[in-house]
Amino acid sequence: MRATDAAGGETVRETAEYQHAKLRVEELRSQIAYHDHRYFVLDSPEISDADYDRLIVELRELEERHPELITPDSPTQRVGGAPVETFGIVEHRVPLLSLANAFSGEQLRAWHARASRLIERSDFAMVCEPKIDGLACALVYEDGSLVTAATRGDGMRGENITVNVRTIRSVPSALRDKGQGTRGKGQGARDKGQGARDKGKGNGDLPARFEVRGEIYMTKSGFERVNAERGEAGEPLFASPRNSAAGSVRQKDSRVTASRPLDAFWYQLGWWEAGGGTREARGGKREVGGGIWRSPGTHWEALGWLRDLGFKVNPNIQRFTSLDEVIGFCEGWVEKRESLDYEIDGIVIKVDDLGLQRQMGAVGREPRWAIAYKFPPTQATTKLLQIAVNVGRTGTLNPFAILEPVHVGGAKVQMATLHNEDDIRRKDIRVGDMVIVQRAGDVIPQVVGPVLSLRVPGTRRFSMPKRCPSCKTEVVRNEGEAAYYCPNRQCPEQRTRLLEHFVGRGAMDIEGIGEQLARLLMARGLVRDGADLYGLKDRREELIGIERLGAKSVDNVLANIEASKRRPLARVLVALGIRHVGGEVATALAQQFGGMDALMSATAEQIAELPGIGLVIGESVAEFFSRAENREMVERLRSAGVNLVEARGAAREGPLSGLTFVVTGRLERLSRNEAESLIKAHGGAVGSSVTKKTDYVVAGAEPGSKLAKAEALGTAVLDEGGFLGLLAERGISV
């Protein structure tokens, strides 16, 4: 591409391909710089992480093909956006480097092969850590006390956020107490009042100054609560938990930061100082103050040391000695990531030996001894083409988004849920907006929010239709509820949806009848509701005439309908589609009343007396059975031979008999399901809402409105420790 002229000077022969690459590099750098500023400085990203990564990958590939185009200020040579000087600037003694990315097991193998060649060995251990999607932070401690907290910034200089970080409870403010050992604040590092170190060791257990690096984040549940509060206050919503965490630590009023549900994980010893200047983390014995501090020789040891000091270290970090184990760990977390109450977007893999890390060094702004395995994207940006509305089985009008097709989480997405009108207005989502779409695991895609900076003029706020899209009946909205309803019980769409629900899993579970066949049966007048299905055995020939239904398929469907007659009463109650009656409530009703007749005769007050039911559900059930058409359908089910009686066995007796519990929030030692199963297994009752009949509320982290209701009613509240103590007092081991 370059040639030397006769005078010895260098000339550039720019081919069309080179010229195109040069222009594209300039364009990519401009785009990336813009998005860096919005992400790192303004906390208001316009594109998803996956879209951003694609820009970086394209730029890196172009620079690899044309090294002469690489410049020191290229985004591939930088870490992040410049810090905001409002909070003051902190110079990082050792740069906070960014990480190279791998998107597959093969790319991890390529990284491992490069690392092996570099150190001339392949038998090195690696540590795998969940990659928290939060705000990178560096803490500096002097004589065991926190003196500085700073953001990553551009890797060399960050923002001073010390005052705000001090409000985060999982950040230890002090690690020592007059030479009496570490105090481990915020992490539960104490053991029966003992510090993480034995008392009386003097000052030898800590270096004079050292830096700890980690990630500040906001929990998913906390993010939802904060956005709900901001929506009610008419404030703009945060785009993501990461965006929310970044905005929270950059508050001018630290009381605002303190009010936010922030947490942090700490994952690296950055540097330490012991009288002879600054050193990056490395192994060895060093004199510190009046004692000896043995600095860790491996990253795994460093994490243990940090944990002992009281820093919150992620419990899911693991150490492996083979690459196959590392790849299995990474791929396993692709699905498990949704089980966490915080966002992770990948797994960070680090060479464990700190000496090897030092030997491998860095290239540009990326360490050679670490890499980030990035998960498939669960978010993408696309255009909202239309907001449509469908009708549910209970008459609810449900808005949904029709989108320009986009791939999210490995699937092509063209539609996404929008919840209700209030949610759409709170997020200010409008037709024509560029929107962020999210798909987590197998969850239905949802619209997170609009990219306001890309909004075109002339868009209008959304309003629900005044009439039902199916039957044109005027819709209603009950006071205190978010949903609009079509009050017409004969609405064709309602009846079709109810039939789909009737045959579904968790209800009558009739295989062979899906959405398409249910609509055909309704359209041809073969059924009006679920009870009519049991008369189809007399219309076999008509069924065979339906498109794609042969004789064998029809016989299978009829056999499945016949088998469904033996379903338990609770499943029948679910199938009826009574509002607020799901599997747990249906089981409680079936066990309490023993049969359909007793339940149909009960008053709302009698139903509400059941533990965990309450008046709202009681009124819904009583109102359902007060309608003549519903009672008539029950009689047709009875005539068809459908089971309407529950086998009433004796209630389980145990040490918790007579007590009703409500479990709310996130527990640490037990899952909520495990806690509720323990209660039921030992004779107790579990409610879904707090009433005057609730004996105990077991409250974990982020308990929500149930805790407030318990406090208003004067109901006894137990934290997880109190709950486990109650179980132990009654002879129940966990």
Q: What is the CATH number of the domain that holds 393?
A: 2.40.50.140
Q: Is residue 701 part of a domain?
A: yes
Q: Could you say which of 131, 312, 374, 706 is catalytic?
A: 131
Tokens for 552? 């064998």
Q: Is 178 a catalytic residue?
A: no
Give the relative orientation of helices 492-503 and 515-523 as an angle to the nearest 10 degrees. Answer: 130
Stronger pLDDT, 105 or 8, i.e. the higher one: 105
Give dist(CA 304, CA 45) in Å, integer: 35
- Sequence-separated (6 or more) residues with CB below 8 Å from residue 437: 379, 380, 381, 382, 401, 403, 406, 408, 413, 416, 445, 446, 447, 448
- Which segment of 200-209, 361-370, 408-417 scores lowest on mean pLDDT? 200-209
The model's confidence at residue 233, banded by pLDDT at 50, 70 and 90, is confident
**Closest-CA residue to 287 (of 226, 221, 220, 206):** 206
Cut 0.85: pTM above it = no
Q: Write down the residue that tokens 């076999």 correspond to.
A: 540
Number of domains in the chain: 5
Instruction: Let me know whether 424 and 364 are in one domain.
Output: no
Give dist(CA 345, CA 232) in Å, integer: 30
Give dist(CA 611, CA 451) in Å, integer: 45
| pLDDT for the residue 205 | 67
Number of separate helices (H) and strands (E) present in the chain: 24, 27
Give dist(CA 612, CA 587) in Å, integer: 12
pLDDT tens sequence across 109-152 = 999 999 999 999 999 999 999 999 889 999 999 988 899 999 98
| pLDDT for the residue 283 | 45
| pLDDT for the residue 650 | 44
Average pLDDT of the segment spanning 287-302: 72
Instruction: Let me know whether 71 and 21 are in one domain.
Output: yes
Instruction: Let me know whether 367 and 385 are in one domain.
Output: no
| pLDDT for the residue 564 | 94
pLDDT tens sequence across 667-683 = 877 877 778 878 887 88
- Across the strands, what pairs with 210? 141, 272
- Sequence-separated (6 or more) residues with CB below 8 Å from residue 52: 32, 35, 39, 45
Instruction: Let me know whether 278 and 318 are in one domain.
Output: yes
- Which segment of 46-60, 214-228, 457-471, 489-503 scores lowest on mean pLDDT? 46-60
Instruction: Let me know whether 400 and 344 are in one domain.
Output: no
Q: Is residue 164 part of a domain?
A: yes
> Cβ distance 691 to 605 under 8 Å?
no
Stronger pLDDT, 281 or 571, i.e. the higher one: 571
CATH number at residue 240: 3.30.470.30
The model's confidence at residue 353, banded by pLDDT at 50, 70 and 90, is very high
Q: Supply the mean pLDDT for the chain.
A: 82
Instruction: Let me know whether 532 and 627 are in one domain.
Output: yes
| pLDDT for the residue 204 | 47
Average pLDDT of the segment spanning 534-563: 89
Give dist(CA 259, CA 435) in Å, integer: 29
Q: Are strands 344-351 and 370-374 parallel, antiparallel or unpaired?
A: antiparallel
| pLDDT for the residue 256 | 84
DSSP class of 39: I
Instruction: Let me know whether 219 and 146 are in one domain.
Output: yes
| pLDDT for the residue 4 | 38
Look at residue 198 and tell me whether its pLDDT is greater than 50: no
Handedness of CA 624, 630, 633, 635 (dihedral sign): positive
Strands (E), 193-330: 209-218, 262-273, 278-280, 284-288, 291-295, 318-320
| pLDDT for the residue 252 | 80
Instruction: Let me know whether 253 and 337 are in one domain.
Output: yes
Which of these three, 334, 354, 374, is where a domain ends?
Answer: 374
| pLDDT for the residue 345 | 87
Instruction: Let me know whether 391 and 293 are in one domain.
Output: no
Instruction: Let me know whether 517 and 418 are in one domain.
Output: no
Q: Is residue 471 part of a domain?
A: no
**Closest-CA residue to 616 (of 578, 561, 572):** 578
Average pLDDT of the segment spanning 455-475: 93
Instruction: Let me know whether 598 and 543 are in one domain.
Output: yes
CATH number at residue 17: 1.10.287.610
Tokens for 577? 């589609």
Give dist(CA 445, CA 148) in Å, integer: 41
Which of these three, 415, 437, 454, is where a domain ends?
Answer: 454
- Which segment of 175-189, 329-343, 681-695 scores lowest on mean pLDDT? 175-189
Q: Is residue 485 part of a domain?
A: no
Instruction: Let me know whether 419 and 564 are in one domain.
Output: no
Domain that holds residue 676: 660-729
The model's confidence at residue 42, banded by pLDDT at 50, 70 and 90, is low
- Tell me the CB-side half-sphere exposure of residue 134, using CA atoms within 13 A: 29
Q: Is residue 654 part of a domain?
A: no
| pLDDT for the residue 274 | 67
